[in-house]
Amino acid sequence: MKSNIYHILRGKFLVSDDSFKNWRIIIFISVLAIVMIASSHSADQKVHDIARLNNEVKEWRSAFVDGRSKLMRLKMESGIVQKMAEKGIAPSPNPPKKIKVKSQEN
């Protein structure tokens, strides 16, 4: 038992006559480890991208809501009357009349 551990620590399993199968397993495990690390990094990058895009969506949504509320305030009749009063234009005291056009048939 002690000699087996000693042989492993000295690396005799890598230089012995039948070491080719050991090298194949070591290379295979190394390639799998590299693939696993690359996959993990790719998944982490996607998580960071998703979080960044979610923050960007929240910012755009809040800008949209803010713009829509400003537009609603600008479209209110009281706001329009006030802006036009600054320019010296007042609303008409007479309400508008509807014009009805009757079609003439020949």
The structural domain count of the chain equals 1
Kindly state whether residue 91 falls inside one of the protein's structural domains. no
Kindly state whether residue 56 falls inside one of the protein's structural domains. yes
The angle subtended at Cα 52 by Cα 33 and Cα 40, nearest 5°, is 5
Residues 6+ apart with CB under 8 A from 23: 14
Kindly state whether residue 95 falls inside one of the protein's structural domains. no
The pLDDT value recorded for residue 81 is 87
Kindly state whether residue 96 falls inside one of the protein's structural domains. no
The pLDDT value recorded for residue 66 is 97
Give the domain extent around 22: 2-86
* pLDDT tens profile 17-71: 777 777 888 899 999 999 999 999 999 999 999 999 999 999 999 999 999 999 9
pLDDT confidence tier of residue 106, bands split at 50, 70 and 90: low
Kindly state whether residue 105 falls inside one of the protein's structural domains. no
**What is the pTM assigned to this prediction?**
0.55
Kindly state whether residue 103 falls inside one of the protein's structural domains. no
Which residue is it, tokens 């998703």?
A: 50
3-state helix, strand, coil in the chain (%, to 5): 75, 0, 25
Residue at 90: amino acid letter: A
- Give the SS3 label for residue 1: coil
